[in-house]
Structure 1
């Protein structure tokens, strides 16, 4: 009996201590015809008392999803693949153009204004969270 309880606790415990982030202002840029890639943006709030490390992402609309950043290199803006992105306890981090973003690579179909995509963030503790993102075309959103 003790062995069974210990096994159950070992299976449940990682879930109980999983890092959870609050995500808002989610959007995916509608891709232009001929482009197989696009970017997703969001506001990430770590409302926990623990630092959270995002180690990856996946999406239902693309073959691959990667964490990326834009950084100045001299007089050039360079986009880089990031192995992880840390969100400190009690802090917020904005994923925005010319900064951090989730790059959606190999879109399965064109994503259009008004649609939704699901992006799942993966954490270094083995947990993950799925979020809905609205697809926006900045030209149509401004109307």
Structure 2
């Protein structure tokens, strides 16, 4: 009888351990969000992501935004273009930079201004090769509007998004 009681406990312990390992599969470093000015309805979140195994960033959310998307900016015919992408590959062991003028997380339809010195809660959603999804929550500090400014024609024109 004791074996039957131990088995569910072991299963629960294993599940808890695996859920903890799942969250540890992607390291998030130097996360930050760009401050906004009054009436600005969009801003970006930036960070460095390093996965322990091949994964993909497939989504994000934040209570400060009505819509949160993974975006890419790239130069096309000498014009910076920005677009939402369905996923961002995170090759095992390689740091992937989300930065102004490149890949980033867009926070759209902001519910209030994002003030320097505050923090923005973010939930990132990752997907493994097996299709399993996991989320990771973080608090990203808010930096000044001019922090790590993008090249001319880059992220600085996001205000009217």
- TM-score with structure 1 length normalisation? 0.84
2:36, 2:145 within 8 Å by CA — same for their partners in 1? no
Deviation at 1:17, TM superposition (A): 5.7
Match of 1:37 in 2: 42
Gaps (5+ residues) in structure 1? Answer: none
- TM-score with structure 2 length normalisation? 0.75
Match of 2:138 in 1: 131
1:24, 1:42 within 8 Å by CA — same for their partners in 2? yes
1:12-27 to 2 correspondences below 5 Å: 12=15, 15=19, 18=22, 20-27=25-32
Establish whether residue 85 from structure 1 lines up as the match of residue 88 from structure 2.
yes
Match of 1:113 in 2: 116
Following TM superposition, the consecutive aligned residue runs of length 4 or more in structure 1 with deviations greater than 2 angstroms are 11-20, 138-141
Going from structure 1 to structure 2, the CA distance change for 1:16 and 1:114 (only over 3 Å counts) comes to closer
CA distance in 2, matches of 1:26, 1:140: 13
CA distance in 2, matches of 1:136, 1:99: 18
Going from structure 1 to structure 2, the CA distance change for 1:72 and 1:15 (only over 3 Å counts) comes to same
Q: For 1:111-136, what per-residue CA distance to the aligned partner results, in whole angstroms no more than 9, with x for missing partners?
A: 11000011111012221001110111
Match of 1:111, SS state, is coil
Gaps (5+ residues) in structure 2? Answer: 149-161
More helix by share: 2
CA distance in 2, matches of 1:97, 1:140: 9
Higher Cα Rg, which structure: 2
CA distance in 1, matches of 2:80, 2:44: 16
Q: For 1:17-38, what per-residue CA distance to the aligned partner results, in whole angstroms no more than 9, with x for missing partners?
A: 6262111111101112221110
